[in-house]
Amino acid sequence: MPATRLDNPDHTKAVTFHLGYSPELNGLRGAAITAVLIYHANENLLSGGLIGVDIFFVLSGFLITALLIQEYDNTGSIRLKAFYLRRVLRLAPALLLLLLLFSLSSVVLLGFHGAKSQLMDALIALFYMTNWARALGIYPVYGLAHTWSLSIEEQFYLLWPPLLLLLLRNKRSRGACVLIASSIAIFAWAQRCYLGSTGATIIRLNNGLDTRADSLMIGCTLGIMVASNWIPQQGRGRISRVLYILSPCSVLILAGISVFATWRDPVFYYWLLFVIAVLTAIIILDCYLNKNSKIRRMLSLKGLVWVGNISYGLYLWHYPIYRAMRQYGFDWTQVITLGTLITFAAAALSYYLLEQPFLRLKKKLEFSRQAPRSPG
């Protein structure tokens, strides 16, 4: 494997970067989706549980960016068509199944005319526009409201890889890439604060790509730094010792936010979203640098990793299942027990019977270009 060329002046020789499969990052996914499930089952149990979505955003930004830079350093380019094909293979099958079953069940239960709202929800989600439909007040999207975050991620996938490739092809230093990524993150935070101060609704602040990109771009910034080997070998010991303290503190602060914060509080948008993203980045960096990290060992627990493996399906299925149960008179204890069991069953079936075959095809494409294994 060719060595990664470093633009950081602190380095005097090339260092090979390889991002392999990281079970602890899947464990972090597992923790994030657990928080989201609890929140949607009963908001009073975990009022800030939606921080799990922001953890997903940081992870996505980090992994996508690190893998793209790794590909560029290994091959001299980024095959955008192959990247988008891999994203389609990873995301589309389970989403299409959800939309199909959601639409069919709505028509069966409500009739075609009675299900027009649900069919519109599915159509908007299909084109990954739920976030803007809600943010701009174009259409409320109730039944599949949770697909707002999937829409934001898909828009990120469309915009960031071409921009990153352009920066790399123009021989921008990795420092310039870090500056641009972090500047976009700061702009998104400033945009959120500005719109909030001028009377924008919480729905607007929560759903716009322009107001939620900071979490993704903080992950991208970390991905550029890690993939470019910005942390010199001789300095890793000191940084690891600092992270040994900061990472557990970050976990505790995130836990506190999930318990005591609420997304309806303006403070959540003005400050906490940015803080959540930075704390998540600290945890990811600790997992990457410290092979014996306590947090890494905790996140590598098999049960948590397995939940992370099926987290995409859990996210897709839990919201319509929970919502349907409430509409048919189930109380929150039944939703969090029976509803969660049904959700896990649906997600596991989706993962093993539908997603896995497409993941194997996705990995064949990655192998054909000698790319690293992606955690999916």
The pLDDT of residue 18:
83
The pLDDT of residue 230:
85
The pLDDT of residue 363:
74
Output the pTM of the full model.
0.92
pLDDT higher than 90, residue 271 = yes
pLDDT higher than 50, residue 8 = no
pLDDT confidence bin for 236, thresholds 50/70/90: confident
Q: CB under 8 Å, gap of 24 or more: what pairs does 12-16 form?
A: 15/229, 15/233
Q: Mean of the pLDDT values across residues 208-234? A: 93
> pLDDT, tens digit, for every residue of 163-206?
999 999 987 789 999 999 999 999 999 999 999 999 999 999 99
Q: 128 near 151, Cβ under 8 Å?
A: yes
What are the CA-CA distances from residue 317 to residues 91, 207, 342 (Å)? 14, 20, 9
The pLDDT of residue 234:
66
325-349 burial, b at 16+ Cβ within 10 Å, e below that, comes to: beeeebebeebbeebbebbbebbee
pLDDT confidence bin for 137, thresholds 50/70/90: very high
Rounded Cα gap, residues 269 and 194, in angstroms: 11
pLDDT higher than 70, residue 372 = no
- Bridge partners (DSSP) of residue 4 are 15
What are the CA-CA distances from residue 289 to residues 18, 59, 292, 365 (Å)? 13, 16, 9, 29
> pLDDT, tens digit, for every residue of 60-116?
999 999 999 999 999 999 999 999 999 999 999 999 999 999 999 999 999 999 999
Q: Mean of the pLDDT values across residues 328-341? A: 97
pLDDT higher than 70, residue 375 = no
Smallest Cα–Cα separation from 214: which of 158, 260, 281, 265?
Answer: 281
The pLDDT of residue 116:
96
Mean model confidence pLDDT for the chain: 92
Indicate the SS3 state at residue 15.
Answer: strand
pLDDT confidence bin for 366, thresholds 50/70/90: low
pLDDT confidence bin for 364, thresholds 50/70/90: confident
> pLDDT, tens digit, for every residue of 253-268?
999 999 999 988 999 9
Residue by residue, DSSP assigns 149-203 as HHHHHHHHHHHHHHHHHHHHHTT--HHHHHHHHHHHHHHHHHHHHHHHHTT--HH
The pLDDT of residue 171:
75
Smallest Cα–Cα separation from 274: which of 53, 54, 35?
Answer: 54
pLDDT higher than 70, residue 143 = yes
pLDDT higher than 50, residue 1 = no
